[in-house]
Chain A
Amino acid sequence: MIPAAFDYACPTSVEEAVRLLAEYGEEAKVLAGGQSLLPMLRRRAARPRLVIDVNRVQRLRGVREEADSLVIGAMTTHHDVIHDALVRRHAPLLASATETVGDPAVRHRGTVGGSAAHADPAGDLPPVMLALNAGMVAEGPRGRRTIPAAEFFVDRLVTALEADELLVGIRVPKPAEGWGFHYEKFQPSAQAPTLVGVAVAVRRESGSIAEARIGLANMGATPLRAAAAEAALAGADATEEAVARAAGAAAEGTSPMSCGGTPSEYRAHLARVLTRRAVLRAVRSTGRNAV
């Protein structure tokens, strides 16, 4: 299908993009990698009056290192995130989860900011942002603010960004010693969306697990933290039995949908299985922060 007609703007600065967003409000759509937006335009699920293509805003690309965090520009492509040495060193969970997104052509265009702003509950990167305690950096006419990932995902395809705000980057705290990470997902076929995804960050102290942060994809209208499993893991022994017991609580407090022949009980089962697997792998990877 062919998208409905729209006007096109190709600003070269954040300020210009924000001015257009402020002028057009809900009638404008930002175009990042287009890997979710263009299919939506083709299906006419979106009919913006203005498309604001931010691909030529150089400031939105690349990864910057600060004292205790990395700032990843919103327009950094999946391909570049996967190959970035700073990301691989300080945010290996983001690198390895991004490797599972789509296919090479999708990863050449798709961006980390687009994946966050799209807020698809089946997206692989939003639960990673929860598990990493990322901050979503937004710029608008009232200046710049950082929204914690935990407050960013508001509903299915809805974020805390105001209509006149642009997501400019993602701030990921550098992990201290002792953290391990893993992303595990189940997808019935290469082309199907992720049925359930589990992003795990755990801190190990000798024989036990000191703390855990677990982000779940597709277990509700937004990515969720598996709070009950996290609580059960805090202070637990780093053994298969203890991890399996804690993972049994992974679906508590979630609200997975039943759809397309996938009953919610099946998703809950997958969440438990994948959480056990991901926590064990994350625990085994503690001590080395590289992928």
Chain B
Amino acid sequence: MNRISVNVDGTTYEDEVEPRLLLVHYLRDRPALTGTQIGCDTGNCGACTVDLDGASVKSCSVLAVQADGGEVTTLQGLAQDGEWHPLQRSFHERHALQCGYCTPGMIMAARDLLRHNPDPSPEEVRYSLRGNLCRCTGYQNIVQAVLAAAAAPDSVTAPAAGGEQTWP
């Protein structure tokens, strides 16, 4: 067992974990933040996307021990004082979800994009969401929701480290 201390959505948790515990299982089981989903066994679907130390990661492909000393933001940490994050509002308003399974990962990936690139083109939105699979929507409303959120004045949170994203 390894001792870890992780800040998740503003609260610090101290725990003994097995090294093989995946971050996604830790988040769902320990702080019971079940908003982060598990979809695949390959790292392909993006349902488990969270923010770790200022960059989006697939939490099924990170060990909980690797988050020791780190800061995690999940979908459930986005709302502030009972107010939805602009991306959450925008997904709701534009009907960018049906079953909602992919939504937490979509929003976390979109948030990462907007931090690097506050004014993305539709192509850039599509390219940045290629690691997130949705079985329901056909993506069109998701892309529109991200573009609408980008246009909203309060959409962009503090920029992450690293340069602006470029796209091939």
Contacts and interface: CB of A to CB of B under 8 A. Distances in A.
B19 A83 contact: no
Interface string A53-70: 101000000000000000
Contact of A105 (B19, B58, B165, B166): B58
A269 interface: no
A96 interface: yes
Interface string A16-47: 00000000000000010011001101110000
A151 B63 CA distance: 33
Interface residues of A, number: 36
B2 interface: yes
Contact of B62 (A7, A34, A99): A34
B128 to A, nearest CB: 6
Given A5-B18, A8-B19, A42-B41, A105 B168 contact: no
Interface in B153-168: 162-163, 165-168
B142 interface: no
Contact of B109 (A10, A83, A104): A104
B44 interface: yes
Interface in B107-138: 109, 112-113, 128-133
Given A39-B43, A105-B46, A105-B112, A99 B168 contact: yes
B109 A105 contact: yes
B61 A109 contact: yes
B81 to A, nearest CB: 28
Interface string A84-120: 0000000000001001101111101100000000000
Most chain-A CB neighbours within 10 Å: which of B58, B62, B112?
B58
Nearest to B69: A56
B66 A108 contact: no
A190 interface: yes
A6 B20 contact: yes
A38 B41 contact: no
Most chain-B CB neighbours within 10 Å: which of A4, A6, A100, A108?
A108
A8 B4 CA distance: 13
A34 B61 contact: yes
B6 interface: no
Interface residues of B, number: 37
Given A6-B19, A82-B166, A102-B131, A34 B63 contact: yes
Contacts of B130: 103, 190-191
B60 A38 contact: yes
A141 B22 CA distance: 32
A80 interface: yes
Interface string B1-27: 010000000000000001110100100
A108 B65 CA distance: 18
Given A79-B55, A109-B61, A103 B131 contact: yes
A105 B60 contact: no
B56 interface: yes
A125 interface: no
A3 interface: yes
Contacts of B113: 104
Nearest to A98: B168
A51 interface: yes
B163 A83 contact: yes
B150 interface: no
B41 A39 contact: yes
B165 A5 contact: no
B49 interface: yes
B166 A103 contact: no
Contact of A55 (B22, B61, B66, B128): B66
5 contacts: A83-B162, A83-B163, A105-B109, A190-B131, A191-B133
Given A83-B163, A104-B165, 19 more contacts: A34-B61, A35-B43, A35-B61, A38-B62, A39-B43, A42-B60, A43-B41, A51-B63, A82-B166, A83-B162, A99-B166, A103-B130, A104-B109, A105-B46, A105-B55, A105-B57, A105-B131, A109-B62, A190-B131
